[in-house]
Structure 1
């Protein structure tokens, strides 16, 4: 590749200039100007340096990939100095054929992390890499990565997708299981891992399986008692270093290129823009948001500035740029038409790093990566009001309330109600003068629409950290005075207008073969995405597969703990003693049944002890879009894509609360979906899955 070679309309020289502008990326070209004799003799064991967080790669393209590591000097006196590392990239695991041999600097201002863009590589090739310290020390694993197939390559693409890995909640045996499955598959193994967010959690304290010592700053107060949240750059760096102390996670990052977006816990639970939500009123914290962005950029290998994307669509992603911000509270600042708080510190903090982008893998896969946190508006129902209505800020809120408040000034045909009736009370409508809610923000939404329309890939895999699929609870079936509840308004079901707009766009433009991959909910589920879930005859325009957490506490367990503290009337909707159904010593995950078949089905089943009677009482209008729910699970997803169709497998492994050692977490079940392409104007079709292993309740 010469310096004038063009990729997506940008010259390689201009591309590298962009990458190097911030000083946080080193760029090298494979096979160009190797320095004779530079190769460092490898010592048996380095005595001065080590690589406690291993190494990693990310965002593969046909001719380039980002490589990453972090080095530490064992002598604390040397910790403030740069460390020169030697990078080797080879086509063979024994490094007999080296295509890159370069010295790169690990600098203290970047926490001694190194990000190296290696270009000039061949498409669809496996490469091996290592970093060598001045004393000959190397990371414990040799890195293995691969480049993407050329855009016109007719090749099957295989990926894993993961989410939610709370270190204190559980162990990472799911990664070990994925590693073993990949090794057994040989040439048919995983091309890359898509991480949908929550690679770290911002809090320490109150874990169930492992303990993280206190944060360097001591942390801030949360709504979870003893738990403390990260505040400073050193806090976030400390969390990434701690999470990467897990050997299964480190080895997965060494073996697979990762492609990552974030969800909320990389900054703060349920955040929007730069607003921390640990109190009902919320408060913006631009300094913490900027620190979280910087730490993500330092520890997550990603190609941002210079990303090529779909031809004809201007790339938006850009590397972290340091910003000077102060914690001026922006929550009451005016907003623009996209609900973006117009306060300089808020805008600077969220603008310090842009991660939405797309990557192409051969003829059949456009991977479209979104950011559902940085530009979103506040929850439709403000947290203070949500707590007053349901006792929770975002959970179990009445659907009509969410809908009218999300619509803002566009509600009721542009005549929003001035007051809201809540039970026997009336309260002022705080959203009557606000724009309709947004999860994406205007610029990202425009970019997303153009990307989906202009990409000529057979399939568009849409990575979104929170699910599109509604998870609703039909309370009126057991209480005529009640309304349908939204399980959580923190996901797309709390941003109804924008979901309707986006899915209506897919329908009107005839964009087919869009498959959403999501996480966040700590459960695995799948279903059809309709153009308008409130329409009399909704049209399925897409489908979604949402993966449970690698290690975070499953949603069923969290809900069961909440309703089991006393004789909560909601308990039959969530959990029952398995003995009721002739399964002594087990629990029955009634939450699965409630979400699939409705509240009356669950109540009837628990009351009679007869699943058949429960199913006979099912509500045909209860979440009819759903095809699968496994709310008591940890695991990962697998996707296989070619011209003929897409196969998605939702893999549930044994609970993450314990370590399973080198064997990995045993696989309990795999739900497999086979999807045929659907063309312009045709509805999406999704059948019930084929399930291998023990089926989830009530299917078991």
Structure 2
């Protein structure tokens, strides 16, 4: 069935093929293709594997003709159990066509579980310069630890991919038992716009790009060729190519694979959201072509129907959204629905007895941001940042607030009121109706020891307690409404479901915020005694500007709020001209951060700490770059955040200098008990401020 489906999609121009390890073919097939002289073809984006199961894997490459030919290019794939290819288990010819930008995806099934495989592609006499290496998943009854890496946010212009090289070097030096089984990539694989950094410049896009009048970030991808160009550019990086060649990747997306802070088919570069259904279709197609994922043929979890599906072309027009939404905020405009339906990527993976990995899509099915950008701009001076928490709760709950009696107006300070424009709207959603039902069913049905949520956006709040700094004028502010803190009603629903169903050992792995942080998760983070139901570990960006640097850039040197982000510690006998005081604001509160800036005395700063400030946090490093590793065993989980130096200088094959490692350990717990609260990590290397 798999091979028939893939052949049918190939005939439609999707570049999809299948081969079975039970039918390896003739070794003469490989030899017969090498009769012509070498140097006619090359593989500039390398090769990759994705979505391993116990008996299958998706393999990928892209080929180019060095003579500029655009005709279909025949390739031969070989899969073997040894790196010399003496034990070939699968071999077949595939065709790279212009219709899929000369990318090919080959689904290989009937493989052995928990087995290392090697693979390569050949065009004429030219062979992929990298050797592909992958591994199938263990069976659901296998009792062994699982090792994975997770990563997020890799702006090409923002910096070099040293973090990938560091992870590669460590894996090469590790024992077989300690090497990674796979890598979970949590999104922002590409950045759709130019201008997100200046370390490595991309000068232009094939179409010339779009330029929003109110946005200073440069131009952004508009067409399929634009998105393809970005993937091809990013995948020429040697460290990223090497990482994809060494490990199978499991990918989800965040916003930049389509458009910054997007929802459904809507871009949000300006205060007036813009429906861009054609861009959404183009972005979906390019993701499908360059990311090796098993979607339509995904096996999923036992007893739970697969909701993912391959890219399905659709003809759409850019049309304003209708304003008619269903009970979960999905706009019913025809082109919006058709664009979203072209690709579905949420899916789950079973890895032995101990891991159920549930990977979600937090962009395609979400409702609009809770506070309209124009209104948020009036409140805080930003479209989606530093929003009063009390306003978010009212706006997000919509017509369900206060038992179905939401206010028509909301007080803002002592003498101002704002209209509650959401009082007739449904409550906000990040997942949408179908995905939320699937998510709950998958968690409830799984008997794996640990439930790992591949979650592109943090559940944990990063709040700023301005009311603690100035009780008369301040408010508690959510750092951003684009993450789960902007959709608290659904977050509470999902985490209360975990509590009510006695689902144990829930771990969220996330990214997006360009910072390393970790802590516990609860249905109600504001309760006097939160009921912890799991833990979350957020990974910093591979190369995207750290949140500390981002906030620093937005805060003028003479701003009275700048000390909450940084201060010159040299007058107090420390070497830092720019102290990472944003960590203090998040961990201890704004009064503590201001005290640290004014006195340089961490004892006094700690005395000014707000005991309720982000109580869930066990760690925060806002000036971090890097990756993270996880080891999951029957009785506990180990997580290591690897923080590297800012990746603005090419370090070559040495990889980055590691500034610190933060190591966490969390024991398993039964579902009828609260999760143990995550403790502060142990460290190797230089500690971040204020912990130093």
Range into which the TM-score falls when normalised by the shorter chain:
over 0.9
Q: Size of the alignment, in residue pairs?
A: 682
Structure 2 counterpart of 1:277: 268
How far did 1:636 drift?
0.3
Structure 2 counterpart of 1:141: 130
Query: More deviation in 32-41 or 395-404?
Result: 32-41
Query: For residues 140-179 of structure 1, what are the structure 2 equivalents within 5 Å?
Result: 140-179=129-168
Q: Distance in 1 between matches of 2:572 and 2:215?
A: 35
Assess if the C-alpha contact under 8 Å between 2:505 and 2:671 holds in 1: no
How far did 1:644 drift?
1.7
| 2:85 equivalent to 1:95 | yes
Q: Distance in 2 between matches of 1:690 and 1:241?
A: 39
How far did 1:279 drift?
1.4
Structure 2 counterpart of 1:434: 425
| 2:74 equivalent to 1:106 | no
Structure 2 counterpart of 1:68: 60
How far did 1:20 drift?
4.1
The one of 351, 363, 372 equivalent to 1:373 is 363
Q: Distance in 2 between matches of 1:47 and 1:390?
A: 58
How far did 1:43 drift?
8.0
| 2:496 equivalent to 1:507 | no
Structure 2 counterpart of 1:535: 527
| 2:482 equivalent to 1:495 | no
Assess if the C-alpha contact under 8 Å between 2:215 and 2:270 holds in 1: no
Question: For structure 2, which runs of at least 5 residues remain unmatched after alignment?
Answer: none
Q: Distance in 1 between matches of 2:394 and 2:533?
A: 24
Structure 2 counterpart of 1:336: 326
Root mean square deviation, CA, Å:
1.3
Assess if the C-alpha contact under 8 Å between 2:197 and 2:545 holds in 1: no
Structure 2 counterpart of 1:606: 597
Q: Distance in 2 between matches of 1:381 and 1:205?
A: 27
- Residue by residue over 1:605-660, the C-alpha shift from the partner in whole angstroms, topping out at 9 and shown as x without a partner, is 11112111001110100001100000001000100011121101111011111111
Secondary structure at 1:216 match in 2 = coil
Q: Distance in 2 between matches of 1:580 and 1:287?
A: 55
Structure 2 counterpart of 1:522: 514
Assess if the C-alpha contact under 8 Å between 2:592 and 2:610 holds in 1: yes
The one of 358, 364, 384 equivalent to 1:394 is 384
The one of 451, 468, 485 equivalent to 2:442 is 451
Secondary structure at 1:389 match in 2 = helix
How far did 1:586 drift?
4.0
CA gap of 1:555–1:50, structure 2 versus 1, over 3 A, is: same
Assess if the C-alpha contact under 8 Å between 1:529 and 1:541 holds in 2: yes
How far did 1:585 drift?
4.5
Q: Distance in 1 between matches of 2:513 and 2:119?
A: 35
Assess if the C-alpha contact under 8 Å between 2:157 and 2:200 holds in 1: yes
Assess if the C-alpha contact under 8 Å between 2:3 and 2:18 holds in 1: yes
- Residue by residue over 1:78-115, the C-alpha shift from the partner in whole angstroms, topping out at 9 and shown as x without a partner, is 21x11110001111101111111110111110000000
For normalisation by structure 2, the TM-score amounts to: 0.97
Q: Distance in 2 between matches of 1:293 and 1:45?
A: 37
Query: More deviation in 463-472 or 565-574?
Result: 565-574
The one of 616, 619, 622 equivalent to 2:607 is 616
How far did 1:206 drift?
5.8
Query: More deviation in 35-44 or 482-491?
Result: 35-44
Structure 2 counterpart of 1:7: none
For normalisation by structure 1, the TM-score amounts to: 0.96
How far did 1:315 drift?
0.9
Q: Distance in 1 between matches of 2:7 and 2:520?
A: 43
| 2:223 equivalent to 1:232 | yes
Structure 2 counterpart of 1:462: 453
Secondary structure at 2:29 match in 1 = coil
Q: Distance in 1 between matches of 2:96 and 2:470?
A: 62
Q: Distance in 2 between matches of 1:680 and 1:144?
A: 37
Q: Distance in 1 between matches of 2:354 and 2:656?
A: 32
The one of 313, 316, 326 equivalent to 2:317 is 326
Secondary structure at 1:577 match in 2 = coil
Assess if the C-alpha contact under 8 Å between 1:22 and 1:319 holds in 2: no
Runs of 4+ in 1 over 4 A off after TM superposition: 41-45
Assess if the C-alpha contact under 8 Å between 1:43 and 1:137 holds in 2: no
| 2:675 equivalent to 1:654 | no
Secondary structure at 1:386 match in 2 = helix
Query: For residues 509-658 of structure 1, what are the structure 2 equivalents within 5 Å?
Result: 509-563=501-555, 565-658=556-649
Assess if the C-alpha contact under 8 Å between 1:145 and 1:256 holds in 2: yes
Secondary structure at 1:39 match in 2 = helix
Secondary structure at 1:588 match in 2 = coil
Assess if the C-alpha contact under 8 Å between 1:55 and 1:68 holds in 2: yes
Q: Distance in 2 between matches of 1:206 and 1:352?
A: 28
Q: Distance in 2 between matches of 1:693 and 1:502?
A: 37
- Residue by residue over 1:479-499, the C-alpha shift from the partner in whole angstroms, topping out at 9 and shown as x without a partner, is 222110001110000001000
How far did 1:31 drift?
3.7
- Residue by residue over 1:117-159, the C-alpha shift from the partner in whole angstroms, topping out at 9 and shown as x without a partner, is 001110011111000002x111221100111111111111100
How far did 1:311 drift?
1.2
Structure 2 counterpart of 1:129: 119
CA gap of 1:585–1:415, structure 2 versus 1, over 3 A, is: closer
Question: For structure 1, which runs of at least 5 residues remain unmatched after alignment?
Answer: 1-12
| 2:403 equivalent to 1:413 | yes
How far did 1:582 drift?
1.7
- Residue by residue over 1:398-438, the C-alpha shift from the partner in whole angstroms, topping out at 9 and shown as x without a partner, is 00000000000011111111122234333321100000000
Assess if the C-alpha contact under 8 Å between 1:18 and 1:305 holds in 2: no
Structure 1 counterpart of 2:300: 309
Structure 1 counterpart of 2:256: 265
Assess if the C-alpha contact under 8 Å between 2:3 and 2:19 holds in 1: no
CA gap of 1:599–1:101, structure 2 versus 1, over 3 A, is: same
Query: More deviation in 281-290 or 213-222?
Result: 213-222
